[in-house]
Amino acid sequence: MKKFNLVTLPGDGIGSEVVEGALKVLRTACKQHDIELNIQEFPFGGISFDKHGTPATDEAIEACKESDAVLLGAVGGEKWDHLTGADRPESGLLKLRSELEVFANFRPVKVYPELAHASTLKEEVISGVDILIVRELTGGIYFGKPRETNRSVDDPYSFDTMRYHQSEVERVAQKAFEAASTRNQTVCSVDKANVLGSSRFWRDTVIEFSKKYPEITLQHMLVDNCAMQLIRDPKQFDVVLTSNLFGDILSDEAAMLTGSIGMLPSASLGNGPGLYEPVHGSAPDISGQNKANPLATIASAALLCRYSLGLEQVAVEIEQAIQDTLSAGYRTGDIYTGSESETLTGTEEMCNQVLKALGEFNKAETA
Ligand code: NAD
């Protein structure tokens, strides 16, 4: 029997509701394959600050570093908005990402046929979209030095530095090429090489690195064009590889293709344990009301199986169960359009329907 050690950090607001549901699905899917999960849970974010005076205790961080993977809900909320610096729930999350050295952020953007009409874009433009955005997460202009703001001179100024080392570009490119080799064999590297030296360096480095993957087709696109193409014809993309700043903006733009933030999973990967979390925040407006869509967190659990545990079949089964639940018409409020074929459900019921679909999927497989 295979065994894995996981850490869960449900966090604040709807975090605990969606993580609880996702864990039930994950445990069930793994059990069906005779896989045992040892799971440790820690308070994280605002709730950890209330209990321990810090959003991320050393104990929680150490446990994450020693685990096979981490599943996180969300952090933050009005109650902690007055906090500053390292006390803020978001600082705990940044600390965790940095301690785990997760330098590649994977954000799959998949439009389920059943939800194609829920997007603000035309159905024919977005149906069938299946993009994987790979964003560099720990370098670039968000971390580059020097950085300075000087307001005490005649003409005040401010600047940040966009710096990339070859090794930083290569390691995230490797993640993107590996992912592309399990998908449609295409990587589109996005930069601003017509203006920025750091982008020309990025492009040259990716071209050189791509020689290790001759079977993958490498394309390049300027970030302004990519922003336009994502709306004009998103189906042209498979794996999109880009830097921290461009990825931050493009992945939020691409998120809108799917209709709801409650559908979007993410994986942050390095060379150790991966960090898996829904893209959404703690949604204080619906917290504790059994209204949150758990599918983004359940889909994050599927990514955890795929990228950290090497359990591709379990990942596929969880994703199929999500698909079947949507096909059967179950919808939380964020994706409910009021059509006759839809049934409005709460968080718990949605999770139960995914569990049911998972059971039925396996019965069909073994029949
Ligand atoms: P949010 O993502 O929490 O909510 C935005 C809107 O989307 C809200 O109307 C919310 O009800 C809805 N929504 C979000 N997730 C949903 C789900 N699963 N199902 C149904 N509806 C959902 O963003 P916000 O309101 O800007 O931020 C709220 C708090 O979350 C803030 O404290 C913010 O700092 C924090 N936050 C945390 C993370 C994180 O932990 N990674 C990310 C973003 C925001």
Running along the chain, 367 residues long, what does each successive block of 10 average in pLDDT? 96 98 97 96 98 98 98 97 94 93 96 85 92 96 93 97 98 97 96 98 98 98 98 96 96 85 94 96 96 98 97 96 96 92 97 94 61
Helices (H), the chain: 15-31, 46-52, 58-66, 89-100, 123-126, 166-181, 197-210, 223-232, 244-255, 295-307, 312-327, 347-366
Question: Do 109 and 303 contact (CB within 8 A), yes or no?
Answer: no
Q: Which two tokens stand for residue 19?
A: 């993580």
Which pLDDT score, from 0 to 100, does residue 116 have? 87
Kindly give the distance from the C-alpha atom of residue 16 to the centroid of ligand 1, in angstroms, as a whole number. 13
Kindly give the distance from the C-alpha atom of residue 261 to the centroid of ligand 1, in angstroms, as a whole number. 8
DSSP string, 278-305: ESS---TTTTTTT----HHHHHHHHHHH
12 lines ligand 1 (CB under 6 A): no
Which pLDDT score, from 0 to 100, does residue 342 have? 95
Q: What angle do CA 183, 131, 332 make, to 5 degrees?
A: 120
Which segments of the chain belong to CATH 3.40.718.10?
1-105+266-367, 120-258
Strand, coil or helix: 145 = coil
Handedness of CA 5, 299, 140, 180 (dihedral sign): positive
The backbone torsions φ and ψ at residue 240, rounded to the nearest 5 degrees and listed phi first, read -110, 120
Nearest CA owner, ligand 1 atom 5:
283
Which pLDDT score, from 0 to 100, does residue 362 have? 64
Q: Which two tokens stand for residue 37?
A: 């999960």
**What CATH architecture applies to the domain 1-105+266-367?**
3-Layer(aba) Sandwich (3.40)
287, burial (CB in 10 Å: exposed 0-12, middle 13-18, buried 19+): middle
Query: CATH code for 120-258?
Result: 3.40.718.10
335 lines ligand 1 (CB under 6 A): no
Which pLDDT score, from 0 to 100, does residue 114 have? 87
Gap between the Cα atoms of 55 and 46, Å rounded: 6
Q: Which two tokens stand for residue 26?
A: 């994950």
Which pLDDT score, from 0 to 100, does residue 364 have? 61
Ligand 1 atom nearest to CA at 333:
20
Nearest CA owner, ligand 1 atom 38:
281
Q: In Å, what is the CA distance from 117 to each residue of 126, 229, 236, 327?
A: 9, 20, 20, 14
The residue assigned the tokens 């509701």 is 17
Q: What angle do CA 158, 164, 167 make, to 5 degrees?
A: 160
The backbone torsions φ and ψ at residue 6, rounded to the nearest 5 degrees and listed phi first, read -120, 155
Active site residues: 142, 192, 224, 248, 252
Which pLDDT score, from 0 to 100, does residue 361 have? 65
Kindly give the distance from the C-alpha atom of residue 284 to the centroid of ligand 1, in angstroms, as a whole number. 7
Kindly give the distance from the C-alpha atom of residue 342 to the centroid of ligand 1, in angstroms, as a whole number. 24
